[in-house]
Every structure is written in C-alpha cells, then in structure tokens.
Chains A and B, each alone.
Chain A
Amino acid sequence: MTDPKTLTPLDLDTPDKTFLDANELVINMGPQHPATHGVLRVILRLDGEKVLGLECVIGYLHRGVEKIAENRTYTMFNPYVDRMDYVAAVSNGLGYCEAVEKLLSVEAPPRAQYIRVILTELNRIASHQLWLGTHALDIGAITPLFYTFRDREEILKIFEKYCGARLTTHAFRIGGLQYEAYEGFEQDVKNFVSFVKPKIDEYEELLTTNRIWLERTRGVGVISGKDCIALGVTGPVLRASGVKWDVRKALPYANYGNFDFEIPTGQNGDTYDRYLVRMVEMRQSLRIIEQAVAGIPEGPIMAKVPKVMKPPVGEVYHSIEAPKGELGYFIVSDGSTQPYRVRVRPPSFVNLQALDLMCRGQLVADVIAVIGTLDIVLGEVDR
C-alpha cells in the first residue's frame, strides 16, 4: 500500500506526449460527466487505461455557506445547512442544531430527541439508498437505481407529511422541534420499516452475489485503515477498512447512547466491503428506528430557548455521524445574535481526498466505481 504522504502532486500542465513515446494520456473527466455525481472535475493521467494519478478540481458549487453564516442569525442560518449535503439534509440540521444548543447550554427534550433520531436514521437510509442506486448505475447495473428510488420515495413521503418538504427539510429547530409528530407518524414509520426490510433483501439479491458485481468491486479502490485515519476518512469508508468507529457510539449525541445497535465493519477496505457495510448500516438504522418508535415518550418538544438567541462568548465543536462520515460544526460566538464564525467539517470533502490514493494503479473504470463508493455529494464538498 502506498503511503499517502509520499504521493506527490502530478504534473498535469506539461502537454502529453504521443502514445508511442510515453504511453501517457491526460484525460479530463467532468465537470459535466455522468458519473462524477455533480460537478466534480477529475484530471486523470493514464497509461493506457491504467491510472497513474489524478487530481480533483472542486469548487464549482461553492456558495460560501460559511460566509453566509456570519451574516445571518443563528436561527436564520439553520435552513442553509440543508443545502450542503442535500440528500441527507436532516443530518446536517441535526448537527447544526445540536452544536448551537451546546453553545447555548440547553438540551432538547426527550420526545424531540426521539423524533430527531427517527428522522435522522430514516434520512440515513434514504442517503444510502440513493448512494446504492447511483453507485450500481455507475458500475453498469441500471435496475437497482429504480428499486432504491421507489423505496426512498416512502421516506420522503414521511418527511413531507412531517414538515412539508421532501429534500431540504429544515426539520429541526434549535432547542427541539417546531412541529409535533403528525397523527399516525408512528404507524407510518412502523409500516415503512416492515416495508423496506424485504426491499433491502431485494437489492442484495440483485448485487451481493452477482459475479460481475463481485469482480467489479472486490479489490477495487482498496484503502487500509491506517491510510483512512491519516487521510481523515470517516464513515462507512473507514469502517469498511476495519476500523470500528462511529461517532454515534464513540461520542454519543442525541440520545444514541440509549439505543442498541451494532457498527458493521469490513476487512479488506475495498469497494465490495464498503457496499456490504452500507447495506448492514441500513438494517441497523431500521433497528434503531424500531426501538425509537417503540420507546417514544410523551412530553414537550421544545426546550426553553430565547426568541432572540445570543449565545455566550465561546466556541464549540460538535460532530455527528452523517451518512457520509463525521460531520462537524465549529461555531464561534461573540455574544451577538450572529455567529462570529461557523466552520463546517464536511465528510465528503475530506473523504474525496482519498480518491487519488485509492485510484492509483487501477483502471479508468475503477475510478468511476471509487467515486461512487466514496459517496460524495458535491454540495457538501464545495459548500
């Protein structure tokens, strides 16, 4: 395994020589490319079809979220975080709300915590479903995409019934929730759990033992646990490399300490293991949802928070386990109504850094598979 520190940046500016002289070819993939999941641009240096190295060019979707935060109040900034990782908007909101709550030294009431957990875990499933569909599509299997989107629809329906939005939900408020769970919310969630369990089996039936799927994913984009830690890679990618670490277990937040679930890990750190880890994670999320729905307490849903929020001077770093990895918020307060500085630690951005290491020596087709398996959302990479 290559030591990530010894990777030197590529000289991509010199004009490529002809094939017969050097066998090298610089190819530009993206920003408009069907398999880069948005506006990621990857410059590949190839030897035939073998990747010698690559460089990511990002920032096409940069909207200056951190700058915006400094010019909005704490409450006003809340909807903006949904626009970062837009396929897991609920997780973003949870992280932000909890970070500000920590700054304010308040805690959301238990009922709110439970509903938050249910929605966040539903969102994790939705995010993984979207990942599975697009990842399989990248590798050439077109059918799983439609299956996963069909089932993700049910989650989005629950979101829509709960807060009126499907994608950028703005579901949580600082201090708890604005909306009480609607009539039949628990039943809907229970129905969903029993609905989606056989569906996950269905995805696995299509892919897990499929010969071509195995050949395309086994031993592809291998990254060791050590490299993962050095590169700051978190989430399912880290776990697939054999490091049993999950923010939900390591530094529990939002009531996760009360639930019984397991952290799946892989051994080889290849694309197939990452696939398996995410599949198990979906099932574990269902387990958490089942427990949460069964134990959902009565009570208030909003803690006592001042209308005009002026957190005391200080700074706080709070992170949660988003579907992609560790999503952290570092917030500095100067005692005014607006945050002095909000730093988002985006899992996609940091994970994307591993692409170069994971792709060296692989083939062009594997680059696609590895981009897919990293599960990046460009909205979060570029912010």
Chain B
Amino acid sequence: MNPVTANPPVATPFFFYGLAAIMLIGGILVITRKNAVHSAMALITTLLAQAALYLMLYAPFVAGVQIILYAGGIMVLFLFVIMLISIERNMKERQFNRQWLVGIVAAAGLGGLLIAVYTTTTKGAVLFPEGNVSYVESQNTQAIAGLLFDRMTGMYMFAFEIASLLLLVAIIGAVVMAKKRI
C-alpha cells in the first residue's frame, strides 16, 4: 500500500470549512423553510456537500453511493411525495413546535458531550487532530468490498445481507399498506 502522502493534498482546511459551512447552512434551511420543496432542495445541498467531504477522506465509493442513493434516489422520492401533497396547507402551519426550549438544551448537551468525548479520547487539546486514512483512494473501493466479502476480513457480510432483507420487507410492507388492491 502506498503512503497517503503520494496523493496530492485535497483535504485542505479551506475545503473542509467551506463544505462544513454549506452543510450547516443547508441544514438550517431545511428546518426553517416553510415550503417543503425548498427544504428538500436545501437537504440535497447538504447531502452533496457531505458527499464531497467523503471524497476528501479518500473514500470515493462512499461519496458515489451517497450521491446515487441519497441525492439521486431518496430525495427524488421525497420530492415526488411533496409535490403530490398540497403545499398551501403546510405554509399555514406553525413551523416550530412548543418544545423548542427543550430541543435547544438537548442539542447543546449532546454537542458538549461529543466534544468532551472527542477531546478526551484523542488525549490532546486540539479539536480536530491530524489523522491518517487507512486506505489510499485507489484501494478504498476494494477495501470496502473486502470488509463485506473477503473470507478473512469479511465480518460485515451477514449484517449487510440482513440490512438488505430488512429493506425488502419494508418495501413490501409499504406496498401492502398503500395499495388497496394488488
């Protein structure tokens, strides 16, 4: 395996903070927009920025799957459904519910907890320590395949198959529930 440094530096702080800002703005827009389609568009932006972050981590396969599944597949279905329900009614509803105070407290607590865990486990004062990527870009995809399938390291195969079965059950259940007559 080649050392990671052979790759040209893409994961610069500039890109990271830029993408993080896009994700945050997108996330805030998702919950503040009253128009569901606008929310969905913001969510797509967030998901794409997230895919770009995966690319920065030299994980192109995950990035590709992120785009193909979330942005290209799931969000299309979201939009599909949103378009069919009446937007006007949603516009009139109150956006925030009553528990916003509790929500903020919970979010702050959770954030603090995360930071605490992060700083203590890395045993340093830095919030974002330098880290190494385990696989180079050109072998990342194969590495994922190995984790799933390889005889020696394929420890996630069963979980993977179970997950796909679960999805199948969910699809059949949705069809049965939605369709009056098959």
Judged by CB atoms under 8 Å, the answer to whether A and B touch is: yes
What residues of A have a CB within 8 angstroms of the CB of B84 in the complex?
A: 19-20
| Distance between Cα atoms of A269 and B86 in the complex (Å) | 41
Interface of A is mostly: helix
Chain A residue nearest in CB terms to B89 = A18
Interface residues of A in 4-61 (CB under 8 A from B): 18-20
**Interface residue tally for chain A (C-beta within 8 Å):** 3
| Distance between Cα atoms of A18 and B84 in the complex (Å) | 8
What residues of B have a CB within 8 angstroms of the CB of A19 in the complex?
A: 84-86
| Distance between Cα atoms of A19 and B88 in the complex (Å) | 13
| Distance between Cα atoms of A187 and B86 in the complex (Å) | 67
Interface residues of B in 51-97 (CB under 8 A from A): 84-86
The minimal Cβ–Cβ distance linking A265 to chain B, given in whole angstroms, is 37
Task: Report the interface size class on chain B.
Answer: under 10
What residues of B have a CB within 8 angstroms of the CB of A18 in the complex?
A: 85-86
Write out, one digit per residue, whether chain B residues 83-118 have a CB within 8 A of any chain A CB (1) or not (0): 011100000000000000000000000000000000
Interface residues of B in 105-154 (CB under 8 A from A): none
Chain A residue nearest in CB terms to B85 = A20
What residues of B have a CB within 8 angstroms of the CB of A20 in the complex?
A: 84-85
| Distance between Cα atoms of A19 and B85 in the complex (Å) | 6
The minimal Cβ–Cβ distance linking B154 to chain A, given in whole angstroms, is 44
Interface residues of A in 179-236 (CB under 8 A from B): none
| Distance between Cα atoms of A216 and B145 in the complex (Å) | 45
| Distance between Cα atoms of A19 and B82 in the complex (Å) | 11
The minimal Cβ–Cβ distance linking B82 to chain A, given in whole angstroms, is 11
Chain A residue nearest in CB terms to B88 = A18
| Distance between Cα atoms of A20 and B85 in the complex (Å) | 6
What residues of A have a CB within 8 angstroms of the CB of B85 in the complex?
A: 18-20
The minimal Cβ–Cβ distance linking A52 to chain B, given in whole angstroms, is 16
Chain B residue nearest in CB terms to A20 = B85
What residues of A have a CB within 8 angstroms of the CB of B86 in the complex?
A: 18-19
| Distance between Cα atoms of A19 and B84 in the complex (Å) | 6
Chain A residue nearest in CB terms to B83 = A19
The minimal Cβ–Cβ distance linking B81 to chain A, given in whole angstroms, is 9
| Distance between Cα atoms of A18 and B90 in the complex (Å) | 13
The minimal Cβ–Cβ distance linking A354 to chain B, given in whole angstroms, is 29
The minimal Cβ–Cβ distance linking B135 to chain A, given in whole angstroms, is 46
Chain B residue nearest in CB terms to A17 = B86
| Distance between Cα atoms of A20 and B89 in the complex (Å) | 13
The minimal Cβ–Cβ distance linking A149 to chain B, given in whole angstroms, is 40
| Distance between Cα atoms of A19 and B86 in the complex (Å) | 8
A interface, CB within 8 angstroms of B: 18-20
Closest 5 CB pairs of A and B: A18-B86, A19-B84, A20-B85, A20-B84, A18-B85
A-B contact pairs, 7 of them (CB 8 A): A18-B85, A18-B86, A19-B84, A19-B85, A19-B86, A20-B84, A20-B85
